[in-house]
Amino acid sequence: MDRRRPESHRPERPEGLIWETGYRNGDFKGHVYADASKALRAWKARGLGLYVFSSGSVKAQRLLFGHTEEGDLTPLFDGYFDTTIGAKKESESYRRIAQAIGTPPAEILFLSDVKEELDAARAAGLQTCWLIRAGTMPNAKAHPIARSFDEISL
């Protein structure tokens, strides 16, 4: 039996209410790199399905992407997933996402800056790209690497 409750039935946590008020009042903006916004817009224009999988709740994701320094990016996304689908470091979560969006795993590109998440996605059959904006490049290149969205070719 699945004991996870749908997002709409979870009680709102106090920090969620504070974030909502802050975003709506313009007190803070979600940070999205300009190259990411540009790529997302181009990919959407090409008809690609775009989804978010975050440890933040779906509501928090919508707030962040709805109030970014790059404008409202929510129209670009076809769906949002949080950890109610499963943990980000477990391959079964990525299998569930592929099933939920009706796309074979091999046709999905998962982007992350966390190697263990990429490992789990790859184990589920997804393509992966490791986003490393700054810092030292890893010795073992377990996944294709990009320093910006401009380096990702689809």
The domains found in the chain, sorted by start residue, are: 13-20+30-84 (3.40.50.1000), 88-154 (3.40.50.1000)
| Token pair for 62 | 């919508």
Q: Judge whether 45 and 9 are in contact, CB under 8 Å.
A: no
Strands (E) located in the chain: 51-53, 79-81, 109-112, 127-131, 145-146
pTM: 0.84
Alpha-carbon span 29 to 106, nearest angstrom: 34
Return the pLDDT at 79. Answer: 97
pLDDT tens digits in sequence order for the chain, 154 residues long: 333 334 444 555 555 566 777 777 777 888 999 999 999 999 999 999 999 999 988 988 999 999 999 999 999 999 999 999 999 999 999 999 999 999 999 999 999 999 999 999 999 999 999 999 988 788 778 899 999 999 998 8
Residues present in the chain in total: 154
Return the pLDDT at 56. Answer: 87
